[in-house]
Structure 1
Amino acid sequence: MFSWLGRTVSSCLSPLSQYAHMNKDDDEYSGGEDDVLLWSKDLEKHSHGEFSFAVVQANAVLEDQSQVETGRNATFVGVCGNKELSTMANVVSLRRLLHAVRGLARENGEISEDTLRSAFSETENGFLTLVRRAYAIRPVIAAIGSCCLVGVIWKRTLYIANLGDSRAVMGYSDRSNKIVAEQLTKDHNASTEDVRKELRDLHPEDSQIVVMKHGVWRIKGIIQVSRSIGDAYLKRPEYGLDPSFPRFHLPEPLRRPILRADPTIITRNLRPNDKFLIFASDGLWDYVTNQEAVEIVNNNPRVGIARRLLLSAIEKAAKTKRMPYNEIKKLEQGMRRQVHDDITIVVIFIDPETLDSKTSARELSVRGFVDTVGPSNFNFS
């Protein structure tokens, strides 16, 4: 199990100079000259409708990792990201989560909350095994972690598991036929009062468990998210980092885990008035509210809607920096992070007539930012 993970670690810890070819969609809302750091899939089919997919890179190396799998009777969406310098963790976590969900579903013949819970546990345990093996050589691996959001649609039911502050939002029609946003996931981020209260309740002896630093609430003054895969230095004392790693050094030894790796999980039966789901990394929600997002999706054509939503976020970021988007597009990866973060968006449309249909969509495997579409084997019943 760990041989391919080890190869991934080795390659991802090395400098990356090659980038995947990207789609350069030229349409009426592309803003003129193509944004070479923006990739999109305008519209593809899945077993319960259609989906649109878009990613923009801002960091020196793309940290967001994302994937959509459309099986004969189920659809998988995964987004791992949100953590600085954690490209390797995001790659490993997303691949392992998909592998674990698929394997457990085949073994049990179904998807359930336990399937997702076990898949996250397997991924966490596998990553901590990598940390144990590599720590003596590259101790900084103990400070690498991943925030992951996974959604599966199977038999009229939506299952979502989340660690971190990526977000899943449902757009549905109310009785007056207005579009309404329903946030399905909880943001595990110290910026929210309930997360700070949870941490203080769990660590009453530690007055510095959450502190304001540079205008941002951070756990131990270091990290914003309270749940993740990895980040072993905040979970196990044997992986503590010394003062030679000042960003990740704890002044006192770890007494008990600070971060958690158990996801919050929700199950929802799909309803006739459920119109679409938006899965997105925190880069979108920094600039677009839940309601704004669902209104953009609802009021525009499906084709290219993830790209349109992503551009709305970039344009808002541009206004905050008082910088035209045409100038932002000229910035190289890394420099662009000063304007906005990596952003990943998957919009999953749910067509009611497909929920009970026996017809199958094309089986696709689509990875964000990679301009290829391959066959999927996300099938288990």
Structure 2
Amino acid sequence: MLSSLMNLLRACWQPCADRHLRRRGGGGSDSVGCQDGLLWYKDHGHDINGEFSMAVVQANNLLEDQSQLESGPLSLLESGPYGTFVGIYDGHGGPETSRFICDNLFQHLKVFATEEKAMSVNVIKKAFQATEEGFLSIVTKQWPMNPQIAAVGSCCLVAVICNGKLYVANLGDSRAVLGRLVRSTGEVLPIQLSSEHNVSIQSVRQEMQSMHPDDSQIVVLKHNVWRVKGLIQISRSIGDVYLKKPEFNREPLYTKFRLREPFSKPILSSEPAVSVHELDPNDQFLIFASDGLWEHLSNQDAVDIVHKHPHSGSARRLVKAAMQEAAKKREMRYSDLKKIDRGVRRHFHDDITVIVVFLGSSRGERSPVLSVRGGGVKLYAKSGLNTAPS
């Protein structure tokens, strides 16, 4: 009874605490994250596999990036599996799809993991498919009142750490990078774990052309940028229904999104590229980030920043480094860039989301069940199961 009351009080208090933090503009305890202008960060936390840090900086009028870290049970069963789930959702055209993914994908994964009583590539692919179908249902319902929702979509990068394995699934151009220690030299080398689906990459253009051999305009160079049908750079996503279902590529959708010629099969795919990695004792940390980070930092730059500094604040350091590079490219000071408001800020850099997960620092230790949303949307330790199985 007492624990239930405490959980209720905690649930009521934390949203107020988060609003208070945002009003103060930063500082205070990191237990619910901190805010510094358009930057939200949680410098330090513990999940089942180790320590982590998160940071999000907003550039758009509405934050289109969403992110989450879930640690604890990966199914609805007490018997497991247990582990850590990381999601980076980089929206475009609006925040609706990325928010929908953040609310639904992990829940779908838990349901399918419960059915299989294990984590697997199949579980992850089913969770992606169910999320895509769920958003399609939303578009279908809202189309008569809000047809532009058909042109909203999101990249989707997911990682699951479970039983010594790392599963990485990706749609779009967010990126996962592993920092691996070379013991003979003390260096940490970057290993890119995700394949990107951006038609600026020649192999992705070739894939699109092979899938649509009868369409010579499937990929078009427009204003020196390669785009699918001259509209979008990524070839895979959740949402973007206007390029998947021909019944949504018509009036009253804005003219700029409507194709002149009909299409009979989806132009974009929602099938994630999934890889599985056996974690090695030399694997030090993982960096997950939307393309807003990688536009300004190389894999090696990012790994060096994390490796050469304390764990706490790693994600915030990466975001700051990217913003400093963005300022340098425009021949301005970082301090001046920070003063530019959202919306206008998008002319200098994109929304940037980073999650850094350290491996080995608490492997095998008992850890509280944890659910964290980037940007201060949701941040709480769940009640109920509170330890991982030994």
5 Å matches for 1:132-211? 132-176=140-184, 177-211=186-220
Match of 2:92, SS? coil
1:373 to 368, 371, 379: 379
Instruction: Report the Cα distance in structure 1 between the residues aligned to 2:214 and 2:292, rounded to whole angstroms.
Output: 34
Partner of 2:49: 48
- Structure 1 residue 70 corresponds to structure 2 residue 71: yes
Partner of 1:362: 368
- Structure 1 residue 299 corresponds to structure 2 residue 308: yes
Instruction: Report the Cα distance in structure 2 between the residues aligned to 1:214 and 1:84, rounded to whole angstroms.
Output: 19
2:93 to 85, 95, 103: 85
Match of 1:181, SS? strand
2:275 to 228, 242, 266: 266
Instruction: Report the Cα distance in structure 2 between the residues aligned to 1:365 and 1:93, rounded to whole angstroms.
Output: 15
Instruction: Report the Cα distance in structure 1 between the residues aligned to 2:211 and 2:282, rounded to whole angstroms.
Output: 40
Runs of 5+ unmatched residues, structure 2? 1-18, 29-34, 74-81
Shift of 1:153: 0.7
Shift of 1:269: 1.0
Instruction: Report the Cα distance in structure 2 between the residues aligned to 1:344 and 1:42, rounded to whole angstroms.
Output: 13
Matched AA of 1:41: K
Distance 1:371 1:218, change over 3 A: closer
Matched AA of 1:186: S
5 Å matches for 1:194-233? 194-233=203-242
Whether the 8 Å contact between 1:71 and 1:376 is mirrored in structure 2 is no
Instruction: Report the Cα distance in structure 1 between the residues aligned to 2:341 and 2:291, rounded to whole angstroms.
Output: 21
Instruction: Report the Cα distance in structure 2 between the residues aligned to 1:153 and 1:180, rounded to whole angstroms.
Output: 20
- Structure 1 residue 309 corresponds to structure 2 residue 318: yes
Instruction: Report the Cα distance in structure 1 between the residues aligned to 2:382 and 2:39, rounded to whole angstroms.
Output: 24
Partner of 2:12: none
Partner of 1:347: 356
Whether the 8 Å contact between 2:228 and 2:235 is mirrored in structure 1 is yes
- Structure 1 residue 39 corresponds to structure 2 residue 40: yes
Deviations 1:284-305 (A, max 9, x none): 0000011111011001111101
Matched AA of 1:361: S
What is the count of residue pairs matched by the alignment? 353
Partner of 1:10: none
Partner of 2:76: none
Whether the 8 Å contact between 1:71 and 1:378 is mirrored in structure 2 is no
Distance 1:347 1:326, change over 3 A: same
Matched AA of 1:64: D
Shift of 1:151: 0.8
Shift of 1:244: 6.0
1:113 to 105, 121, 128: 121
Whether the 8 Å contact between 2:21 and 2:27 is mirrored in structure 1 is no
Instruction: Report the Cα distance in structure 2 between the residues aligned to 1:38 and 1:322, rounded to whole angstroms.
Output: 21
Distance 1:221 1:180, change over 3 A: same
Distance 1:378 1:246, change over 3 A: farther
Instruction: Report the Cα distance in structure 1 between the residues aligned to 2:196 and 2:253, rounded to whole angstroms.
Output: 32
- Structure 1 residue 101 corresponds to structure 2 residue 109: yes
Instruction: Report the Cα distance in structure 1 between the residues aligned to 2:280 and 2:113, rounded to whole angstroms.
Output: 24
Whether the 8 Å contact between 2:62 and 2:94 is mirrored in structure 1 is no
Instruction: Report the Cα distance in structure 2 between the residues aligned to 1:151 and 1:276, rounded to whole angstroms.
Output: 13
Instruction: Report the Cα distance in structure 1 between the residues aligned to 2:377 and 2:267, rounded to whole angstroms.
Output: 39
Structure 1 runs of 4+ off > 4 angstroms? 19-23, 377-381
Q: TM-score, normalised by structure 1?
A: 0.88
Whether the 8 Å contact between 1:21 and 1:370 is mirrored in structure 2 is no
Distance 1:371 1:304, change over 3 A: farther
Instruction: Report the Cα distance in structure 2 between the residues aligned to 1:65 and 1:21, rounded to whole angstroms.
Output: 19
Distance 1:377 1:108, change over 3 A: farther
Higher relative contact order (CA 8 A, sep 6+): 1
Distance 1:109 1:244, change over 3 A: closer
Identity in percent = 45
Match of 2:155, SS? strand
Distance 1:225 1:200, change over 3 A: same
- Per mean C-alpha deviation after superposition, the further-off stretch among 359-368 and 270-279 is 359-368
Instruction: Report the Cα distance in structure 2 between the residues aligned to 1:205 and 1:70, rounded to whole angstroms.
Output: 46
Q: TM-score, normalised by structure 2?
A: 0.86
Shift of 1:235: 0.9
Shift of 1:246: 2.5
Q: Please tell me the root mean square deviation across aligned C-alpha atoms, in Å.
A: 2.2
